[in-house]
Amino acid sequence: MHQHLDHNGACFLSLIDGRVKLLTALALLVMVLSAGGWLFPLVTAGLCITVCRMRGVPIKTLLLRFAEPGFIILMIVLLKLFFTGKSPLFTIHLAGLEISGYREGLSEGLAIGSRITGGVAVMATLVVFTPFTELMAALAWLRVPRVFIDITIFAWRYLFLLFDDAKVIYSAQKNRLGYSGYRKGLRSFGTLTGTLVIKAFDSSQSITTAMVQRGYDGTMPMLKQKPFRSVEVAAGCAFLMCMGMLWSI
């Protein structure tokens, strides 16, 4: 699940202010979504994937990231190809039946597919080059309510602990044939969920006690934002202007 890299590495994108990266990514996402054709989203995706690869992100990680969206793209292209449009592109004769794919459908499907590819690539790049705490600080700077940020930080912090607990319980249940039939499986899954909820309740109490002893007053500490560096802002603007020109073509 940890897809971001060691941010201490010497990469200029990792060193840029999280706010600049977030705003640039959001602007790029808006451009991808509002692009008329499929070229701009695909160019954006290509650029993002190249940057990630140059940073050393393994191909397997990128493939994992694109696995689910890739399947959705395939489904949408097929759905659109066979059900949208009037100008037949090809006709398949299958067991005496004629099935047509339509030009308009293919074009619409590919446009949606390219938007998905572009959007996923932009988000992947943002996450790869921005540590979680920096991302949360950038969201707080964008006036996302503090309670929302605090809950997200708690969720992220304890997600891995609960996930490990869930894995232990799941394998224990599996070893005791807890998933050997549908009835047993359903019961085991319910027990697993219930146990996680109990752990969440108990942990919330002990975490609060420990944090109060260390001065917790209801607000989580947040990264202190430094003033914007004009070079970074200028670089972000220049990049967006270039992409904007490409978008308008």
Residues 221-240 contacting another protein, CB under 8 A: none
Q: Could you tell me the smallest distance in angstroms from the CB atom of residue 234 to another protein?
A: 25
Q: Does 54 bind another protein (CB under 8 A)?
A: no
CA 124 remoteness from chain centre: 6
Q: Does 248 bind another protein (CB under 8 A)?
A: no
Q: Could you tell me the smallest distance in angstroms from the CB atom of residue 165 to another protein?
A: 9
Q: 60: which 2 tokens? A: 């397997």
Q: 227: which 2 tokens? A: 């003033």
Looking at the Cβ atoms of 86 and 224, the one nearer to another protein is 86
* Count of residues near another protein by CB under 8 A: 84
Helix (H) or strand (E) holding 202: helix 182-213
Among positions 89-128, residues that touch another protein (CB under 8 A) are 97-99, 108, 112, 115-120, 123-124, 126-127
Sequence-distant (≥ 6) Cβ neighbours of residue 103 within 8 angstroms: 85, 87, 88, 89
Looking at the Cβ atoms of 175 and 230, the one nearer to another protein is 175
Amino acid at 221: P
Amino acid at 112: I
Q: Could you tell me the smallest distance in angstroms from the CB atom of residue 17 to another protein?
A: 18
Looking at the Cβ atoms of 15 and 147, the one nearer to another protein is 147
- Among the listed residues 27, 43, 207, 240, the single contact to another protein using CB under 8 A: 207
Sequence-distant (≥ 6) Cβ neighbours of residue 183 within 8 angstroms: none
Q: Does 177 bind another protein (CB under 8 A)?
A: no
Angle between helices 18-34 and 230-248 (to 10 degrees): 10
- Among the listed residues 166, 233, 237, 246, the single contact to another protein using CB under 8 A: 166
| Site map 11..50 versus another protein, x via CB under 8 A | ---------------x--xx-xxx------x---------
**In the beta sheet, which residues pair with residue 88?**
102
- Among the listed residues 51, 72, 235, 240, the single contact to another protein using CB under 8 A: 72
Sequence-distant (≥ 6) Cβ neighbours of residue 212 within 8 angstroms: none
Contact 81, 102 (CB under 8 A): yes
Q: 210: which 2 tokens? A: 């420990």
Q: How far apart are CA 45 and CA 116, in angstroms?
A: 9
Q: Does 63 bind another protein (CB under 8 A)?
A: no
- Among the listed residues 15, 50, 68, 176, the single contact to another protein using CB under 8 A: 68
